[in-house]
């Protein structure tokens, strides 16, 4: 480093400790970046790249952002997955000997963001860590720094399960050991889009021992220790708001793998990857940001505890029954700010006076809210308000100490209420009276000199002064004032008495601001003592908010309370798809029953494209998820078993990231379901086998149906265009055929969207193509070819139009006699002894259709 200046040597030394982050190096009113950081940041932030002399023979690349507007630039970098190390001057330049001392005071990463402007208020911002152990098990730890939430789960069924668990939560960054498998790191980065960071330390210091009181497994302690060390390393400040680690007992919740969460569009849509059009967008009637985050957690982890589900349903029922009280409750919740994140900012030390006013106003609403809750008649709602602590002492502290309209900054004064501190009141009184004395002096001097334009002003250089225009100077006696400054059109004067008052006023103002700052810090420290109580209060208010939101969506959308049975029976009357029916506002959604008793494990669904097979399948899964998270459901009545897992293969999409085709994705998702499903699971498989040749696809589809029927016995909905599979109902006693009704009317197909028993008689593929406005000649040609293919005469599929090339060998249409002879030959050629019963039935079915046509 010898060739560089001392300041650049300081920069390079600090940068060497933060190689994976942009180093925002404080120089005066700017954060500067140098070398490679400058080259990269200038491109990412689209800011000017310059250079400076740093002692080397070549000039050093440099770019910078203003200190006061740095937050926006940091946000841009963090949203792109980068880290930013904030390097501040930690020494007063006036007393520094040589280069001002600088240190990194915070490392901002995608998983450790605290500033509100960088966060989605309705979503958690999780930092996660993954630890692998020698026996092949993993721990996944979570922390939301903004709320102090900590949790951990043990996963013993492979890394795919780890991926699904991480996908289930809004994780932004994952911390792993430095020797963590490289291929798995790539999956975390490219498949899930996470920033991957490294930490090898896992020991937990004594000061954080209270966080692990509820966990005793060494794996849990090591897994969380890695996460905690990373947080300590990046934040370098108080972490008093961190809550004890909560073990996640995965067996207490319905399991939703990443495929199912994506295919069912629970929190975002497949096409636009946004919230609109997802299940969350339909059922989210929460008012507060913390309520919205809680709702998302409930959706991510539907319950398996029947008692807790019934408690939630009871409470929703109670709120649904009383419209006016519920509306009052919703109105009161609009005045409650994000207590959870406010508590986090208090402990973190970056809360300002306006934040504390929000906290005070929120606490002031709690008594009203409890009064309204007390007006609900349902007994299940009693505990919701009886257990809530209104935090009267904290509210009193904030009311007595803080002014009603404080500034955003905390070093300019104006935050502390009059009467809170006697010394501050004295300073304010001296400042106020001093200014009053100056105003009186100005009036007195105007009167005595006769100069009406005489004024007393102030600036930071000269302090208070008397200003007289040059035209009025003759009216002054020479010894009246002491000349201080000459301007173009005026003269400025001072007097000993004015300077004496100036000293009194400025000292009072300066001391007042300094004292206010110290008083505010003291108030903030006192509020810290209430952080845990505020977090508990936030949890209680969040629950109330989610439950009233469930009641609101039930009222608005006509949902019913579900019931649960210990038997393996699904009985849904007039079920609807919660999202599709909202999209179809103005049109009538066709509801359908779903019934599967203990003697039916598989529903084989046939029917044309666009008829509603996928909608029918999805609405069953969404109804089960809504019921088990505590919501009412879109139907007239529903009796359901508890589902431990839901697996789906719906829709076709290539996985371009990993280079997998539609068919490979299809097979992987089907395999995941077949490998993990139990008798208590639900499986939805939509048109399995369509990504390969007809016979391959049909064979695979049949084998999968048979495997589920014979070995798994999970409740399964299986849609297909392979009509030959409907014959399985004669062989598999727990499989039942159903189809979606469609009728042909004047050459067009009419989709009735009604589910009926039995198999569909045709697929209407050409009619669907006609609805898509394919050219008429193409539709006519397809119809012609279809007729010949269905008649068994593939060889006579030539067009009668002149100039149209024949697809097959052209020959004359055979007579009935020749057709019969051909069928006889085919029958004679069959080797029945080498055919399976299914193959024989399919062949018989084909020959029968040939004769009929």
Annotated binding site for ATP: 607-614
Burial of 207 (C-beta count, 10 Å sphere; 0-12/13-18/19+): exposed
Question: In the structure encoding, which two tokens stand for residue 331, read together?
Answer: 């109105």
d(CA 723, CA 608) in angstroms, rounded, equals: 11
Which residues are within 8 A (CB) of 423 and not within 5 positions of it... i.e. 6 or more apart?
515
Binding residue positions? 607-614
Q: How far is CA 797 from CA 106, 364, 790, 802, 803, in A?
A: 74, 81, 11, 14, 15
Which residues are within 8 A (CB) of 608 and not within 5 positions of it... i.e. 6 or more apart?
740, 742, 749, 751, 760, 762, 763, 764, 765, 767, 768
Burial of 299 (C-beta count, 10 Å sphere; 0-12/13-18/19+): buried
- Name the region of 612 (left: φ>0; alpha: ψ -120 to 50; beta: rest): left
Distance, CA of 271 to chain centre? 17
d(CA 81, CA 108) in angstroms, rounded, equals: 11
d(CA 32, CA 393) in angstroms, rounded, equals: 45
d(CA 31, CA 16) in angstroms, rounded, equals: 18
Phi, psi of 435 (to 5 degrees): -70, -35
The shares of helix, strand and coil residues in the chain, as percent rounded to the nearest 5, are: 45, 20, 35
Is residue 199 within 8 Å of residue 143, measured between CB atoms?
A: no
Question: In the structure encoding, which two tokens stand for residue 821, read together?
Answer: 């002879």
Other CB atoms within 10 Å distance of the CB of residue 255:
21
Burial of 270 (C-beta count, 10 Å sphere; 0-12/13-18/19+): middle
Question: In the structure encoding, which two tokens stand for residue 440, read together?
Answer: 């009186």
HEC per residue, 331-352: HHHCCCCCHHHHHHHHHHCCCC
Strands 138-144 and 126-132: antiparallel
Which residues are within 8 A (CB) of 743 and not within 5 positions of it... i.e. 6 or more apart?
749, 750, 752
d(CA 158, CA 277) in angstroms, rounded, equals: 32
Q: Tokens 């013993």 belong to which residue? A: 156
- Three-state DSSP at 366 gives helix
Q: DSSP class of residue 244? A: P
Question: In the structure encoding, which two tokens stand for residue 34, read together?
Answer: 């140098």
Give DSSP secondary structure letters for 20-73.
TSEEEEEETTEEEEEHHHHHHHHHHTT---EEE--SSSSPEEEEEEEGGGHHHH
Which residues are within 8 A (CB) of 659 and not within 5 positions of it... i.e. 6 or more apart?
none
d(CA 740, CA 738) in angstroms, rounded, equals: 7
Other CB atoms within 10 Å distance of the CB of residue 625:
24
Burial of 335 (C-beta count, 10 Å sphere; 0-12/13-18/19+): middle
Is residue 802 within 8 Å of residue 646, measured between CB atoms?
A: no
Q: How far is CA 385 from CA 207, 316, 551, 772, in A?
A: 34, 15, 17, 56
Is residue 217 within 8 Å of residue 238, measured between CB atoms?
A: no
Q: What is the dihedral of CA 503, 508, 511, 516, to 10 degrees?
A: -160
């Amino acid at each position: 480093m010898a060739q560089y200046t001392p300041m650049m040597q300081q920069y390079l030394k600090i940068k060497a400790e933060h190689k994976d982050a942009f180093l925002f190096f404080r120089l005066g009113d700017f954060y500067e970046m140098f070398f490679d950081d400058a080259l990269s940041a200038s491109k990412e932030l689209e800011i000017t790249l310059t250079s400076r002399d740093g002692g080397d023979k070549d000039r050093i690349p440099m770019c910078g952002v203003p200190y006061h507007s740095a937050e926006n630039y940091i946000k841009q970098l963090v949203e792109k997955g980068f880290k930013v190390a904030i390097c501040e001057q930690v020494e007063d330049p006036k007393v520094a000997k040589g280069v001002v001392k600088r240190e990194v005071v915070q490392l901002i990463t995608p998983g450790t963001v605290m500033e509100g402007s960088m966060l989605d208020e309705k979503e958690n911002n999780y930092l996660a860590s993954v630890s692998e152990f020698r026996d092949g098990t993993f721990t996944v730890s979570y922390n939301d720094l903004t709320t102090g939430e900590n949790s951990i789960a043990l996963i013993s069924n492979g890394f795919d399960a780890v991926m699904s668990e991480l996908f289930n939560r809004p994780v932004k960054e994952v911390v792993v050991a430095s020797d963590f498998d490289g291929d798995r790191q790539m999956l975390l980065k490219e498949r899930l889009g996470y920033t991957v960071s490294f930490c090898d330390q896992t020991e937990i210091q004594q000061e954080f021992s209270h966080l692990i009181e509820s966990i005793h497994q060494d794996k849990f302690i090591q897994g969380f220790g890695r996460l905690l060390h990373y947080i300590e390393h990046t934040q370098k400040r108080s972490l008093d708001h961190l809550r004890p680690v909560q073990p996640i007992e995965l067996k207490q919740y319905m399991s939703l793998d990443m495929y199912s969460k994506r295919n069912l569009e629970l929190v975002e849509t497949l096409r636009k990857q946004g919230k609109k059009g997802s299940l969350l967008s339909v059922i989210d009637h929460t008012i507060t940001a913390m309520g919205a985050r809680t709702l998302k957690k409930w959706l991510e982890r539907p319950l398996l505890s029947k008692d807790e589900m019934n408690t939630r349903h009871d409470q929703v029922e109670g709120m649904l029954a009383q419209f006016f009280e519920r509306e009052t409750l919703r109105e009161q919740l609009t005045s409650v700010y994000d207590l959870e994140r406010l508590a986090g900012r208090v402990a973190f030390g970056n809360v300002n006076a306006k934040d504390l006013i929000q906290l005070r106003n929120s606490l002031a609403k709690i008594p009203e809210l409890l009064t309204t809750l007390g007006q609900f008649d349902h007994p299940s709602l009693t505990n919701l308000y009886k257990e809530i602590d209104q935090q009267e002492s904290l509210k009193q502290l904030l009311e007595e100490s803080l002014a009603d309209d404080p500034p955003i900054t905390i070093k300019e004064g104006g935050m502390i209420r009059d009467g809170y501190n006697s010394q501050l009141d004295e300073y304010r009184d001296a400042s106020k009276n001093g200014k009053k004395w100056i105003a009186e002096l100005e009036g007195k001097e105007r009167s005595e000199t006769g100069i009406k334009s005489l004024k007393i002003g102030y600036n930071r250089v000269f302090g208070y002064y008397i200003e007289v225009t040059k035209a009025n100077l003759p009216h002054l006696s020479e010894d009246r004032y002491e000349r201080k400054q000459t301007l173009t059109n005026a003269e400025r004067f001072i007097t000993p008495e004015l300077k004496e008052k100036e000293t009194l006023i400025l000292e009072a103002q300066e001391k007042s601001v300094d004292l206010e700052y110290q008083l505010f810090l003291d108030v903030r420290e006192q509020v810290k003592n209430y952080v845990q109580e505020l977090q508990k209060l936030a949890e209680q208010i969040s629950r109330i908010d989610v439950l009233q939101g469930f009641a609101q969506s039930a009222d608005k959308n006509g949902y019913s309370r579900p019931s649960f049975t210990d038997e393996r029976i699904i009985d849904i009357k007039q079920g609807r798809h919660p999202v599709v029916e909202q999209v179809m506002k103005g049109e009538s959604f066709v509801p359908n029953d779903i019934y599967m008793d203990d003697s039916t494990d598989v529903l084989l669904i046939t029917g044309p494209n666009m008829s509603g097979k996928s909608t029918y399948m999805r609405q069953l899964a969404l109804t089960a998820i809504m019921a088990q998270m505590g919501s009412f459901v879109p139907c007239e009545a529903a009796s359901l078993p508890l589902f431990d897992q839901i697996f789906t293969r719906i829709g076709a999409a290539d996985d371009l990231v990993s280079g997998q085709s539609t068919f490979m994705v299809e097979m992987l998702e089907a395999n995941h379901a077949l490998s993990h499903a139990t008798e208590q699971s639900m499986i939805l498989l939509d048109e399995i086998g369509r990504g390969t040749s007809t016979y391959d696809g049909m064979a695979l589809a049949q084998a999968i149906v048979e495997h589920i029927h014979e070995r798994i016995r999970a409740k399964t909905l299986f849609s297909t265009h392979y009509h030959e599979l409907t014959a399985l109902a004669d062989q598999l006693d727990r499989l039942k055929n159903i189809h979606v009704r469609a009728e042909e009317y004047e050459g067009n197909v009419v989709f009735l969207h009604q589910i009926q028993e039995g198999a569909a008689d045709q697929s209407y593929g050409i009619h669907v193509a006609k609805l898509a406005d394919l050219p008429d000649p193409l539709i006519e040609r397809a119809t012609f070819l279809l007729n010949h293919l269905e008649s068994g005469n593939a060889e006579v599929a030539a067009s009668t139009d002149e100039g149209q090339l024949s697809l097959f060998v052209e020959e004359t249409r055979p007579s009935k006699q020749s057709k019969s002879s051909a069928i006889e030959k085919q029958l004679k050629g069959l080797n029945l002894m080498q055919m399976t019963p299914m193959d024989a039935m399919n062949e018989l079915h084909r020959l029968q259709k040939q004769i009929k046509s």
